[in-house]
Amino acid sequence: MLRMTVEPNELLQIAVRIAGGAADLARQMRDEGVTGITTKSSATDVVTAADRAAERYVREALRDSRPGDAVLGEEAGESPGKGAVRWILDPIDGTVNYLYGVPHYAVSLAAEVDGEVVAGVVRNPVSGEQWTATRGGGAWRGEVRLVGSTVTELSQTLLATGFGYAAARRVHQARVVAKLLPIVRDIRRFGAASLDLCFAAEGRVDAYYEKGLNLWDHAAGGLIAAEAGLRVGGLSGAGAGPDLVVAAPPAIWEPLQDALVRLDAAGGP
């Protein structure tokens, strides 16, 4: 059977168009008032009608543009496809910010080909800022090509992180962050992992780590950070995944890894 090659740029164009539509929908629904609030993994892990509507919008648009592709989305899970492409979607990353009207949330959409993320877009519907990347094609915010921070000292590092929704996990995460705080410049907790990775990509923070992320939280942002020259991975040679996602400029990768290993940042529940 003849296998069609899939161009990352083509996938990115589709991703940008569809993420833009989903972002407009999420923002419009926020302006009209948040509805349909339910909880998922814990009493603080919320989902709104807009999360579900934005995911439905993206799935339908993908079905029109690329029928047969697989989709993994935060709200509706995995839909198998027939080819090499799988889309990875967080319809609203930063749902708690969304709920409270904090203008810091994002639509995150990535395209994988044969299991490798090759294109991704993260869009903040409120600020209109949009970060994109294709594998080997660099990371961009609009027309601006992004390069991460040039920090060389852990002690000078502005470090972003986030916390899970389960209380037991948070106890462990709090212990880790308490030990990191005195040895870095400062800590930031903005509330949307995809945007944390984009902020690292453009040096608005120097580095980022978090335990417990799902693929939809970091697929697009991880590619954007990597294409901006950051190292992106897990701990001790592992890939980025649920145990840990770390994004840091090469010069502080080792000292940050050492600190995260010493503090067992990938451990705990």
Binding residues for ligand IPD (CB under 6 A): 74, 90, 93-95, 162-164, 191-193, 210, 212-213, 217
First to last CA, the chain: 46
Q: Least Å distance between CB 50 and ligand IPD?
A: 12
Whichever of 8 and 90 has its CB closer to ligand IPD, that residue is: 90
Q: Least Å distance between CB 74 and ligand IPD?
A: 6
Contacts of 34 (CB under 8 A, 6+ apart): 48, 49, 50, 98, 99
Q: Least Å distance between CB 40 and ligand IPD?
A: 8
Which residue number places its CB atom closest to ligand IPD?
162
Beta partners for 38?
Answer: 47
Q: Least Å distance between CB 247 and ligand IPD?
A: 14
Contacts of 121 (CB under 8 A, 6+ apart): 12, 15, 16, 19, 107, 108, 109, 110, 130, 131, 132, 220
Whichever of 7 and 186 has its CB closer to ligand IPD, that residue is: 186
**Whole-angstrom Cα distance, residue 101 to residue 79?**
31
Q: Least Å distance between CB 151 and ligand IPD?
A: 22
Whichever of 93 and 206 has its CB closer to ligand IPD, that residue is: 93
Q: Give 60-67 contacts, CB < 8 A, sequence gap 24+.
A: 61/17, 61/18, 61/21, 61/22, 62/14, 62/18, 62/87, 65/14, 65/18, 66/14
Whichever of 157 and 173 has its CB closer to ligand IPD, that residue is: 173
Whichever of 93 and 112 has its CB closer to ligand IPD, that residue is: 93
Asked if 245 and 209 count as a contact pair (C-beta separation under 8 A), the reply is yes
